Amino acid sequence: MVARIRSAGAIAAFLVMFFPFLTLAEDVNFSVIPAEVHIDNLLPGESAEFELTIHNKDEIAHNFTITTFPPPEEERREGRAQFPSDSWISFSCPRIEIAGTSQANATVTVTIPQEQKWAGRDWEIWLGVTPESTDLLAVKLYVRLLVSTSGTMFNAGLVTGIAVAIVLLGYGSYHYFRRKTKPE
């Protein structure tokens, strides 16, 4: 009987201690749109931009922080590799204050370096949005960013060089054969 009273007391103490934390963890007063972003056929050396909309559903203003997060391998989509460098992603405002019951946009820019080795790749990275809080538990919402680069990279220098070579070869051939057909 004493053991049952002690275990009931331990359960009650546990609930009193951890119940406030559970209610804090369930209190999600913001949302982020879109939940998933696809960027396809991005050429190395080019950039792509998109908007994240953060909705503050609370009655008071909150500051939100936007960061990158490499997802664990088992959470990534099939055929997707880890994004090579989070420095390729920039935010118009990594920290943004949003008034109560309103929304704000943040521009996200993805820039792939101009190197052929980055062509024909499929990557995944997550963008985390977190309200700044002094609470022990904070909710972080993630946006899944899927980036695919084009398999071929347009090389303007090579195309220009080939065009100039064709013009010079044609011009030289024209003068050579014209000279040869001229009577002396």
**Residue pLDDT, tens place only, 123-139:** 999 999 999 876 667 78
Return the closest-CA partner of residue 85 out of 36, 143, 147, 1: 147
Single pTM value for the model: 0.68
Whether residue 17 is predicted with pLDDT greater than 60 in this model: the reply is no
Domains of the chain: 29-177 (2.60.40.10)
CA dist list (Å): 143 to 87, 122, 123, 170? 17, 17, 14, 55
Which of the residue ranges 24-28, 32-36, 45-49 would you say has the lowest mean pLDDT? 24-28
**CA-wise closest residue to 105 among 157, 49, 158, 149:** 49
Cβ-based burial of 106 (10 A; exposed 0-12, middle 13-18, buried ≥19): buried
Q: Does the pLDDT at position 10 exceed 60?
A: no
Strand 47-56 and strand 81-82: the pairing is unpaired
- Name the strand (E) or helix (H) holding 125: strand 122-131
The answer for residues whose C-beta is within 8 angstroms of residue 76's C-beta and 6 or more apart is: 82, 124
- Residue 21 has what pLDDT? 46
110-123 pLDDT tens trace = 999 999 999 999 99
Residue 181 has pLDDT above 60, yes or no: yes
Per-residue pLDDT, averaged over 97-101, amounts to 94
Count the Cβ atoms, other than its own, within 10 Å of residue 9: 10
At residue 165, φ and ψ (nearest 5 deg) are -65, -40
Collapsing DSSP to helix, strand or coil, 114 comes out as coil
Dig out the tokens for 135 from the structure. Answer: 């609470």
pLDDT bracket for residue 182 (50, 70, 90)? low
Nearest partner of 108 among 30, 47, 184, judged by Cα? 47
